[in-house]
Every structure is written in C-alpha cells, then in structure tokens.
Amino acid sequence: MASESKGLVFATAVKKHAGRAKEKILQKVGKVDRTADEIFDDHVQNFNKQQNAANKLQKELNNYIRCVKAMQAASKTLYECMSEVYEPDWTGHDLLTVQSQNIEMLWQDLGHKMTDQVLIPLNTYQGQFPEMRKKIEKRGRKLVDYDGQRHSFQALQSSKKREEVKIGRAKEQLEEAKRTFAVFNAELNEELPSLYDSRLPFFITNLQTLFSAEQVFHSELSKVHGELESIIDKLAKESSGRTSSSHYRRSSPPTQMLSSPGSNSLNSPENVGSRSSRHGRTEQDDENNSPFHDHHHNNQNDHDNYSKQSGGIAGGTGGIGGLKDYEPVEVGAQVGEITTTTPTNNGAGAVTTNGVNKSPPSSGGPGATAPARNTNQRPGVEELYDIPIGATTDNLPPGVLYRVRATYKYQAEDEDELSLEVGDTVQVIEYEDPEEQEEGWLMGIKEATGRQGLFPANFTRPI
C-alpha cells in the first residue's frame, strides 16, 4: 500500500509538471492567454533591483574587509621595518615602537567593526531574498496551474458535446487552483512592498555604522601620525643643531674682533665703480636701478660723520677717493694688546691700531665691491671679527655667532653660495677652514632651508 501511495503521488506530480510545461509553451506561442497583474510585476521588479543592490554591496564590502586585513598586515610589516632602521640612539625610538603597535591595533579594530557591525547585518538583510525568491517562484507555478484549469474549463464549456460531469469536476479544480493562487498572491503583495521599504532604514543604519567606524579609525590614526610627525620634527631639529655645532670651533670661541666684513660703514657711490664678485667677475652697476642707490641716500649722514672722524677721505692714498682696499688684520699671539690698545688717527683717512690699517670695507649695498681676501696671513693664525653693532648673541644655537636678515635679493653664482630673498634670516657661523676666509663674504646657514653656504655680507644687516 505504501509503495502504491508513493507511486500515485509521483504520477500526480509528473502529470502536474507536464501540464504546467504545456501551459507555458502555449502562453509563449500565444495560443492561450496569461493572467496579468501589473502591480505584482512592479513589486517583483523592485525586489530584483533590491536584491541586486544588496548582493553588490555584500560583494564589495567583503572585498573591502579583505583589503583592510591586507593593509593591517602591510602596515605591521612597514612599521616593524621602521623600528629596525630607526636607530636606538635617535630621539623617540621607543615612542615610535609604541605608536607602531597602536596603528596595528587601529587597523585590527577597524577590521572587526567592519565584519561584526557592518557585514554580518548586511548578510542577514541579504539572506531574506533567497527565501522570498522561492515564494515568488511558487506563486508563479500556482498561477500557471490556475491558468491551466481555467483554460480546461473553458474548453469543456465550449465543446459541442457537453459532458456535465467533466464540466463539474473541472469547475471544482478551477476553484481550488484559484483559492491556492490567491493565498500566495495576497501574501506576496504584502511582503514584497514591505521588504522593499525596509531598504531605507537598513542602509541608513548600516552606512552610519560603517562611516562611524571609519571616522573613529581615521581620527585616531591621524592623532598617531601627528605624534610620529612630532618625533621626526624633534629629530630634525636635533640633527640641525648637531650640524650647526659641527661648524663651531669650541677651542676658539667668538671674542672682541677687529673688523666686521658685514658692517655698513661707507655707503657712497664714489666708492663703487663696478660690481665685483668673489670670483673676479665684474659688470657695470646702474646706480639708479640698484638697491645700493637707495641705501646710499639713507646712510649719507653716516658717511659724512665718518669722514669727519677719520680726518677726511681726500687725505688718504690708494683706492677710490683715497681709501685703500680693506684687508683683514693679522693677529699675533698678543691678541689682548691689539684689542685693548686705543686707536689713533693717522691723518690719512684710516684708523690704525698698533700701526695696522683698519679702514672699514665699502659695503653699502649689492653694488659694493667685495675686497680681496688677505693671502699674506701667517699659516695657522685665525682671523677675528667683531660682532656687528645691533647683532644679538643671546639664545643662539651652538656654533652660531650672530644672525642677519637679507636686505636685498641675491642670486647664488656657485654651488657653495646661498641665494637670498629680502627678509631671509641667516645664522652666521665660522669658516671650517680659516685659510678659506674671503673678505666681504660670510659663512652661514639659511634658516628657511637649513642649507649652508657663503653669502655677501653687504646684502644683509645684523639682527
């Protein structure tokens, strides 16, 4: 009996499947009509769109989480390498290691939040669609059954030979198919719109969680990067200080000096006939177009006062207007005697100390000629220069004599020179090799770039 029952169920199922297949073929070829429901068709269209969107978002989110985990691994490897190459005696080595671990934890936390708070709810939301798809397909089969019973009943009614028994049985089957279809149809007409409307609150919650997790991650990561940047900035400052101190000869600290190649003494056009660089290159200086022209007028009173105090320029010998080109004073073992002896006026337009000419250089502007370097200095004897008037020596980095500010623009003509813009600040330091001292040129470090090089003193003023 059991086998016969199973056989009957199987035969019924085969018959029903064959009837549905036949009905679908007839509908496709237009032999029979199909029950249409435009409202339900719209619901199905919205459902398909909603499912496709959820599937696409799920796919991309899975890919994103894989990339987050890959970035976590790459970040860990990178910062482990940084901790290795960042030498232990450098500033902030331990802090760098700690912050590297913090970055790894931030990446790990982001991955967990994306999985637990964003992906899992999305998977739950997306899991509704397969079940709903089954209901839609079942409702479609019931509709085919209903259309098939309807067509069979219509065929019996239109038959010339009416068989009332068959017509009655077909009518009952039609009513049964209609009730079954109506149940599925009504259920889906409620569930599909409700499911479609749920997409908005779900995406609001889901995306808020995603963006919140991202915001926290990037905010905390930015703080860590700020700490790392501070560590490197501190290392850079200390490194710059070490570079500056390496140019400072601690065995010969700055003392009272005999002359200043950067001091502004005579600012007269008569003293400048041509512009001479430290390499011997010359060009005609246009007085009306050079910054020296204005500087000359601003310092004319200083020029007159100096002429009176020095006994008059006209009384001197050599150079323009009777002034000799300035050369650094040779300093012997008795430096104290030279710096403490009262200067006397020799009547020739120059001040002398122990008989040594101390005429100040002409350095009133970019047009001034830089005097030649003294090549007759005894070997091993260093030149000493005064700190210019107006220069401060307080709170300076090690090795810095004083600071100057550029009053004119200067374009470097050699690799060992500094280019200057008006307003640039330069830290003046000593020459590494006193034998390379060039009169009228200073050695300094440009604060804006940290670059070291030579620059003309008369393009700057002390601060």
- What HEC string does 251-278 produce? CCCCCCCCECCCCCCCCCHHHCCCEECC
pLDDT of residue 4: 63
pLDDT of residue 221: 95
**DSSP letter for each residue of 287-346:** TTTSHHHHHHHHTHHHHHHHHHHTT-GGG--SSGGGPPPP-PPP--S-HHHHHHSPPEE-
Residue 37 burial by Cβ neighbours in a 10 Å radius (0-12, 13-18, 19+): middle
- The string of pLDDT tens digits covering residues 12-34 is 677 777 878 888 888 888 888 88
Report the C-alpha gap between 339 and 326 in whole angstroms. 18
pLDDT of residue 280: 45
- The string of pLDDT tens digits covering residues 57-84 is 999 999 999 999 999 999 999 999 999 9
Q: What pTM was computed for the model?
A: 0.47
Report the C-alpha gap between 162 and 256 in whole angstroms. 137
Size (the chain), residues: 463
pLDDT of residue 6: 66
CB atoms within 10 A of CB 228: 19
Domain boundaries along the sequence of the chain:
1-26, 33-237, 269-462
* Pairing assessment for the beta strands 344-345 and 351-353 based on DSSP bridges: antiparallel
- The answer to whether the CB of 213 falls within 8 A of the CB of 114 is yes
- Edge to edge, the sheet with strand 400-406 lists 452-456, 441-446, 425-429, 400-406, 460-462
pLDDT of residue 385: 58
Residues in a beta bridge with 259:
385
Phi-psi region of 74 (alpha: psi -120 to 50; beta: other; left: phi over 0): alpha
CB atoms within 10 A of CB 12: 10
Contacts of 28 (CB under 8 A, 6+ apart): none
pLDDT of residue 29: 80
Q: Is 460 helix (H, G, I), strand (E, B) or coil?
A: strand
- The answer to whether the CB of 296 falls within 8 A of the CB of 289 is no
What are the residue ranges in the chain where pLDDT is below 50? 246-277, 280-384
CATH superfamily of 269-462: SH3 Domains (2.30.30.40)
Contacts of 423 (CB under 8 A, 6+ apart): 405, 406
The CATH number for 33-237, chosen from 1.20.1270.60, 3.40.50.620, 3.30.565.10, 2.70.98.60, is 1.20.1270.60
